[in-house]
Structure 1
Amino acid sequence: MASYLDSAALVTSGIAIGGYYAAPLQLAPETIGSLLGLQTLAFAAGALFGGRLGDRFGRRTVFTCSLVLYAAGVLLLLVAASPALLFAGVIATGLAIGADLPVSLALVNEEAPEGRKGTMVVFSSMLWLAGIVAVLLLSSFMGAQGMLGGRVLFAHLLVVAVVVLLLRLTLSESAEWAAARRAADTHPNSPAEKVEFGRIRDLFRAPTGYALLATGLYYATWNLGANTLGQFGTFLWTALAEGEVARYSQLTLLGLPMGFVAGLVFMRVVDRPARQAWFAAGTALIVIAWALPALFGPGEFTLVAVMLVSGLGNAFAGESIYKIWSQELFPTLLRATATGVTMAFTRALAGLAALGTPALALGHTGLFFGLLLGVTVLSAVIGLVWVPRLARTARSEERADAVQRVEPADPSGAPTPDTTEKAVP
């Protein structure tokens, strides 16, 4: 439900602030960009500190506290009658979303059974999509306009947040994190536990440093396009295609059933070797989607095509595959920290881009969509060429470590007698 609440908050902020609240509160395009940009920057700060705290003090504590902050921020946005309360609300929700997501993903991965970890992480991404669906359905069919429309959307977030908070209080701590922390505390100087202890400097040395750089760059370059659609889709639709908010939400809903079906398919293949082929297909769709407005200009057809085609591709690439890589390529006590760092970098970059998005989209439309296409192509190269090499290296090191643990050598250099069970590669 972290994914549901986080995506719903981002999309709700974009629709409510960029659509429903804009006219009644007389929000200029620059103010809209500042509000949504600050929310994204707060997301970055929350992810950076929340991920680290989750590795040091446990998953449960951080994701419980973050949800309390989330509810408070949503309440501010719900009752806001001035830009000042909007600024306070977007900062609070951004910090909460950022802190919540890396530790919640780590808990999902660590509590899932072997052979199903990728499946459960993809399922969390489908709940990210479910949050978007819920908001778009409300926006499309509730019929409310102006301030009331925005308040209804934020009320939905508040109700769900309170219910989820009550359910989270029943959860126990991650068993994998607890075991890793006990081992690190018991043997802090042991070479086998050195990286597992999760010191900050361990994150930036090989091989984790390369994984951090690759996953961070992939997620950041892919997310620039996705974040633009999520936060500014309504703005682009109304300003460049001269469409209505309700119609935009209804058209967006057309592609969501395909996204759910595609997500179910990916859940079945994500823990198998076929994952890479599906990822390549999804990447191609995302590149094609952003090529349409870059080549033919933004209109109703191309903007709808971007939503539908990239939405289908994102089921197999983008956020889904990044979340899997962020769990697979890092040890337990660095996992949430690494995810938080890459999320922070990604959201900081997106937040800075959001500050100028409305002005750039209106004043230099061709350049705007050309830049989005360029960063999408860069993310494709990183994901298809660089990350697979890191994954192969990580698997080779895991096999070597497993063999070394069960077959220690005697002082002469020969293996000890076969008194322990062999490690299976």
Structure 2
Amino acid sequence: MSALLTRTERLDRLPYTRRHNKLLIGSGVGWALDAMDIGLISFIMAALAKEWSLSGGELSLLGSVGFVGMAFGASLGGLLADRIGRRQVFALTLLIYGVATGLSALSTGLVALIAFRFVVGLGLGAELPVASTLVSEFAPRKIRGRVVVALESFWAVGWLAAATIGFFVVPQDNGWRWALALGAIPAAYSLIVRFGLPESVRFLEAKGRHAEAERVVRDFESAAGIASPTHAAAESPVLPTVTSTRRDLWGDRFRVRTIALWLTWFGINFAYYGAFIWLPTLLFEGGMTLVKSFEFTLYMTLAQLPGYATAAFLIEKWGRRPTLVTFLGGSVVGAVAFGLAPGLAAAVAPGDEGTGFAVTLAAGCVLSFFNLGAWGALYAITPEVYPTAMRATGAGAATAFGRIAAMAAPLVVPWVVAAAGRPVLFGLFGAMFTVAMIAAWFLPEYTDRALDET
């Protein structure tokens, strides 16, 4: 019977094995290092606002310039991954942003730091959609969504590392420099990715590299204790080599799902990065000490972990789309509650600083729980929207469009706060989550279905 299966069908039927685990952890560590780098800039912004006496506009530029690089990187990385391979691009992007982050620790002024952050963004933007595509193409069909959510959960690990470094290292003399120096770790890790992780079987077949694809599949079958077919060379149909372009995303077949995916990415990026990049600085400017604001962010970050775990459980029970929509709805509630929390606390216990901290933290944890669960579901559904030949291109394009929101949000934050206050700012974030929630209803549902090949 196995001789009748294609290589991708052979992968889909496998149980989860140590080879899947190696791929997940190998990709997940890179994912966590990404999160650590992005998270660190939120703490460094708060420290440099004090050390370099930066204005709100300068801080906005520093916070958003990395996302300008990420927009270019996501677009370019997706195209390259469909041409030269997922693993190759994954390793290259880790090297680029790791080196640039390490060098940014030597910055002598704002201009140099901004320049380095742009290069860091190029690497980060290209890495994320490529890593999720690689993992999605190997995961067994019945738990594919859960595995990709598990990959995305490494983001919480990285952000937790950033919060820990922010709490213990950044407040020290030149602490922000040491924090950035730690961000050079991905440069070394890129070698592990390059030689330790397999290349996508679907990519190899699409490029006609069938002998390599067969070796990879046999390796995974061996790990599962399943005998490989005797005559494997003729099993898989020869997929045509297709060069995808941006124009293909807007053809009759994909137009609706492209619009829905791009709007979902835009809304969630605007709300998440607008809130979390500025969070320590907003808390500091609101009267918390620098260390206290870092402690608050650390606690909020911990709420991400159960959010991912819950999304990973529900995504195969409810499906991708219901899970994503539900967690985006919870994010709306969390954002609005966080904006109103100081006022609510003042109404309940006027002048009680402890009550204010507790109410605000509770609302922040709700936001963190649902928002990061939504991210996990979004990363699970994104690689499933397009077929193999344009999967990384489509994921990269959606990510790039989302990064436009990510670069705009940090610029908007100080103006909205100055003009209308924090409740209106987080009301805006709630509105953007709502946009993403509505758009997500129009995404395709691929729970327990094979990925499209053509």
Q: What's the TM-score bracket when you normalise by the shorter of the two chains?
A: 0.7 to 0.9
Percent of aligned pairs sharing the same letter: 23
Partner of 1:346: 402
Partner of 1:14: 42
Residue identity in the other structure for 1:135? A
3-state SS of paired residue (1:371)? helix
Partner of 1:391: 445
How far apart, CA to CA, are the structure 1 residues paired with 2:30 and 2:204?
A: 21
Equivalent residue for 2:336, pick from 291, 296, 313:
291
How many residues align? The count is 385
| 2:71 maps to 1:44 | yes
Equivalent residue for 2:277, pick from 228, 231, 235:
231
| 2:445 maps to 1:360 | no
How far apart, CA to CA, are the structure 2 residues paired with 1:355 and 1:61?
A: 34
Q: Is the 8 A contact 1:177 1:332 kept in 2?
A: yes
How far apart, CA to CA, are the structure 1 residues paired with 2:31 and 2:447?
A: 30
Q: Is the 8 A contact 1:51 1:338 kept in 2?
A: yes
Q: Describe the superposition over 1:161-207 as per-residue Cα deviations: whole angstroms up to 9, x where unpaired.
A: 134212112133211111123299xxxxxxx9679542432221132
Would the alpha carbon gap of residues 275 and 59 (structure 1) be closer, same or farther in structure 2, given more than 3 Å must change?
Answer: closer
How far apart, CA to CA, are the structure 1 residues paired with 2:184 and 2:209?
A: 39
Q: Describe the superposition over 1:46-88 as per-residue Cα deviations: whole angstroms up to 9, x where unpaired.
A: 1011111111121122122212211221022211121122012
Q: Describe the superposition over 1:314-350 as per-residue Cα deviations: whole angstroms up to 9, x where unpaired.
A: 3432x11211111111111211111111111111122
Partner of 2:8: none
Q: Is the 8 A contact 1:329 1:394 kept in 2?
A: no
Q: Is the 8 A contact 1:71 1:162 kept in 2?
A: yes
Residue identity in the other structure for 1:363? A
Partner of 2:370: 313
Q: Is the 8 A contact 1:40 1:350 kept in 2?
A: yes
Q: Is the 8 A contact 2:165 2:179 kept in 1?
A: yes
Q: Is the 8 A contact 2:263 2:436 kept in 1?
A: yes
Partner of 2:176: 150
3-state SS of paired residue (1:60)? helix
Q: Which moved more, 1:300-309 or 1:321-330?
A: 300-309
3-state SS of paired residue (1:391)? coil
Q: Is the 8 A contact 1:290 1:369 kept in 2?
A: yes
Would the alpha carbon gap of residues 397 and 315 (structure 1) be closer, same or farther in structure 2, given more than 3 Å must change?
Answer: closer
Q: Is the 8 A contact 2:163 2:301 kept in 1?
A: no
Q: CA deviation at 1:294?
A: 4.4
| 2:401 maps to 1:375 | no
Q: Describe the superposition over 1:362-382 as per-residue Cα deviations: whole angstroms up to 9, x where unpaired.
A: 232254333222222222222
Structural mapping, 1:78-93, within 5 Å: 78-93=105-120
Would the alpha carbon gap of residues 244 and 196 (structure 1) be closer, same or farther in structure 2, given more than 3 Å must change?
Answer: farther
| 2:261 maps to 1:215 | yes
Q: Is the 8 A contact 1:118 1:324 kept in 2?
A: yes
Q: CA RMSD in A?
A: 2.9
| 2:299 maps to 1:254 | yes
Structural mapping, 1:154-303, within 5 Å: 154-159=180-185, 161-170=186-195, 171-182=197-208, 197-239=243-285, 241-273=286-318, 278-295=323-340, 300=357, 303=360
How far apart, CA to CA, are the structure 2 residues paired with 1:273 and 1:314?
A: 18
Would the alpha carbon gap of residues 46 and 270 (structure 1) be closer, same or farther in structure 2, given more than 3 Å must change?
Answer: same
Q: TM-score, normalised by structure 2?
A: 0.77
Would the alpha carbon gap of residues 71 and 376 (structure 1) be closer, same or farther in structure 2, given more than 3 Å must change?
Answer: same
3-state SS of paired residue (2:50)? coil
Q: Is the 8 A contact 2:311 2:376 kept in 1?
A: no
How far apart, CA to CA, are the structure 1 residues paired with 2:203 and 2:408?
A: 34
How far apart, CA to CA, are the structure 2 residues paired with 1:100 and 1:281?
A: 27
Would the alpha carbon gap of residues 227 and 309 (structure 1) be closer, same or farther in structure 2, given more than 3 Å must change?
Answer: same
How far apart, CA to CA, are the structure 2 residues paired with 1:145 and 1:276?
A: 45
Q: CA deviation at 1:264?
A: 2.7
How far apart, CA to CA, are the structure 1 residues paired with 2:447 and 2:304?
A: 32
Partner of 1:2: 30
Q: Is the 8 A contact 2:105 2:181 kept in 1?
A: yes
| 2:127 maps to 1:100 | yes
Q: Which moved more, 1:255-264 or 1:150-159?
A: 255-264
How far apart, CA to CA, are the structure 2 residues paired with 1:364 and 1:194?
A: 56
Q: CA deviation at 1:276?
A: 5.1
Q: Describe the superposition over 1:256-305 as per-residue Cα deviations: whole angstroms up to 9, x where unpaired.
A: 44432342343234234455554444233211111124446677556534
Partner of 2:220: none
Q: Is the 8 A contact 1:52 1:337 kept in 2?
A: yes
Q: Describe the superposition over 1:76-101 as per-residue Cα deviations: whole angstroms up to 9, x where unpaired.
A: 22111211220121111111101111
How far apart, CA to CA, are the structure 1 residues paired with 2:301 and 2:64?
A: 26
Residue identity in the other structure for 1:13? I
How far apart, CA to CA, are the structure 2 residues paired with 1:151 and 1:76?
A: 10
Partner of 1:121: 148
How far apart, CA to CA, are the structure 1 residues paired with 2:430 and 2:318?
A: 29
How far apart, CA to CA, are the structure 2 residues paired with 1:163 and 1:260?
A: 27
Q: CA deviation at 1:20?
A: 1.9
Q: TM-score, normalised by structure 1?
A: 0.82
Would the alpha carbon gap of residues 49 and 238 (structure 1) be closer, same or farther in structure 2, given more than 3 Å must change?
Answer: same
Would the alpha carbon gap of residues 195 and 182 (structure 1) be closer, same or farther in structure 2, given more than 3 Å must change?
Answer: closer
Q: Which moved more, 1:347-356 or 1:297-306?
A: 297-306
Partner of 1:76: 103
